[in-house]
Amino acid sequence: MHIPDGFIAPQVYGPAYGAAGVLWAVGLRRLRRRLDPAAVPRLAVATAAAFALMMVSLPLPGGTTVHVSGVGMVAVLFGVWQAFLALSLVYLLQAFMLGTGGVTALPVNALAMGLGGSLAAVGALRLLGRGRVGLFLAGWFGTVVPAVIVAFVLGLQPLVARAADGTPLFFPFGWAVTLPAVVIPHLAVGVADGVLAVLAWRILAPQEEP
């Protein structure tokens, strides 16, 4: 689901960098005020686990591969802002050091997966509670909602950036192609992310004082 360089038009990634920059600044200010030092090791472990799990590719029929996102897992444990910042750090690392996901696509990836996925996961959790079903669906929505956003952004590219002869300059496929191609595989991947959210809550959730 990570969008590489060369697929997103400047008309899209420019404003996306602006929006993400503002949200990163707001998130960091909130984090400085509210981050519990005792939670940092758990946040580090969850973020590193999300990063590692993103590198495990699951082959799908047709030759493509998918991977779990870990978005729901981090979001149910730490909330929207901490998850957004922690996952943005992962995407930053992947884009600048490891060549997974593009530098120009970084804000789109961060907004779609880090923020959109975290909002969806926490929203599901608030609606359904922290039982198994709520946690599972939080993980599932944390993967499927970003897939819908990424498919929408990719399908937008042929409309916003074309050569004089009408040829798309960046990503060439419209929504009729991107929505099924991106979203349908992630309906299945969401199941793995749902199970992951349930397991992560059992292992990493803050323990109640006896």
Partner 1 sequence: MGRACGAVLLLLLLPAAGALAHGVGSEIGRADAVTVTFRHDDGSPLAGVPCEVLPPDGGPAFQTGRTDRLGRVVFVPDRDGRWTVRVTGEDGHGAVVPVVIDAASLGTGSLPTPPPAGRGWKLLTGVGVLLGVFGIVSLTLQRRK
Cα Rg, the chain, nearest whole Å: 17
> Position 165: which residue type?
D
Q: Which of 132, 173, 175, 191 binds partner 1 (CB under 8 A)?
A: 173
Q: How many CB atoms lie within 10 A of CB 129?
A: 11
Element (H, E) at 17: helix 10-34
Q: Which of 71, 110, 182, 196 binds partner 1 (CB under 8 A)?
A: 182
Q: Which is nearer to partner 1, 137 or 149 (CB)?
A: 149
Q: Which is nearer to partner 1, 11 or 65 (CB)?
A: 65
CA distance 78 to 35: 10
* 52 contacts partner 1 (rule: CB under 8 A): yes
* 40 contacts partner 1 (rule: CB under 8 A): yes
* Segments in 35-165 forming alpha helices (H): 40-54, 71-93, 106-109, 118-128, 132-160
Residues of this chain that interact with partner 1 (CB under 8 A) are 1, 3-7, 35, 37, 40-41, 43-44, 47-48, 51-52, 55, 57, 59, 63-65, 89-90, 93-94, 97-100, 150-151, 154, 165, 167, 171-173, 177-178, 181-182, 185
